Copies of this chain bind each other. A is one copy, B any other.
Amino acid sequence: MNPRRVIGIDAGGTKLLGGVVDEALDVHHRVHRRILGLDQQELIDSFVDAVEEARSAAPDAEIVGIGIPALVRPASGSVLVSNHLPLDGVPFRDLMSERLGLPVHVDNDSNVAILAEHRAGVARGVDEAVMLTLGTGIGGGLLLNGEVYHGSEGAAAELGHILVDPDGPDCPGDCPNHGCVEAFASGTAIGRAGEEAARANPDSALGKALDAGREISGGLVTELAHDGDPLAREVLAAAGRMLGLAMVTLVNVFNPELVIVGGGASAAGDLMLDPAREVLAERALPPNRRLARVVQAHFGSEAGMIGASMLALDALTPLTQVGE
């Protein structure tokens, strides 16, 4: 008998990644959509379309799990508010279920990412961990006493909105603050810092890329940094140091065993995490920093999709036992 399969979808502020995932967590038939700038109707259509593309390859997959960058009420699957997608107040779970004619399970994208890491990734056997998901924004997940923590109405773990500099730049979206870590270390923020650095240093690899008309994104900064450009490396290191300041607060508050970094922008790896680790080693409380290790997500940028599929896998009817 073939392993049973479900559909997992992870949406960020820019892209949607879906896949057919089986009980062994093997991923088949990945689907991608760009969702940046879509209005609500187009966005919903894009989710439906992605699920249907996945189903056409795997018609046996009849349950859908979705992670979205939004405050999701745990009981209803409704969106309280989303900083990056036009879903405020949308009864997302019920709407998707109606459009698809399938059961749908929904949670915050970072909550499902840490779920994936806890069950099958770097946080297996760990009870206390925090996760930062670096993408268009910065999402957060909390694993406390071995459970994903949702808070009283689903709006907890907004770890991208930890203050790291009271005089820092405006935070994007609906956040009224300035100086949140998201304003320094998201993929978007890295791209913006990279563009500024490129303008100031036209002879650098970054400067030449800008001159050649390329868009200076977080991804391009990371690519040029991996290729050895000192300027791109310094942009990542500066972002990493601000990320480290947020980790100081997190480690003092939660005393976690792990600080997990995932999301697309975590592709920078140690170029960003080593400077963060240095700040943590320098500034966090001694017992807390001795315990906490900063690690990349095992599932990398697929943690959200895998975790979303776990919501759906949990809803599969238990198999009849042999002998029953």
Contact = CB atoms under 8 A, between A and B. Distances in A.
B174 A286 contact: yes
A253 B128 contact: no
A159 B287 contact: no
Contacts of A127: 152
A156 B255 contact: yes
Interface in A67-94: 71, 80-81
Interface stretch (A5-13, A26-34, A39-47, A162-170): A162-170
A248 B142 CA distance: 18
A151 B284 contact: no
Chain multiplicity (copies): 2
Contacts of A254: 151, 156
A153 interface: yes
A237 to B, nearest CB: 16
B253 A71 contact: no
Contacts of A282: 176
A164 to B, nearest CB: 6
Interface in A166-220: 166, 174-178, 180
A151 B256 contact: yes
A255 B153 contact: yes
A158 B252 contact: yes
Contact of A128 (B151, B158, B287): B151
A144 interface: yes
A283 B253 contact: no
A283 B158 CA distance: 13
Interface in A272-323: 282-288, 291
A249 interface: yes
Given A156-B253, A249-B249, A81 B286 contact: yes
B249 A285 contact: no
A100 interface: no
Contacts of A178: 283
A5 to B, nearest CB: 33
A144 B155 contact: no
Given A163-B163, A164-B163, A166-B164, A177 B253 contact: no
22 contacts: A80-B287, A81-B285, A144-B144, A151-B255, A152-B257, A152-B291, A153-B291, A154-B255, A158-B255, A158-B285, A161-B248, A161-B249, A161-B252, A162-B252, A163-B164, A163-B249, A166-B245, A176-B285, A177-B284, A177-B285, A249-B249, A253-B253
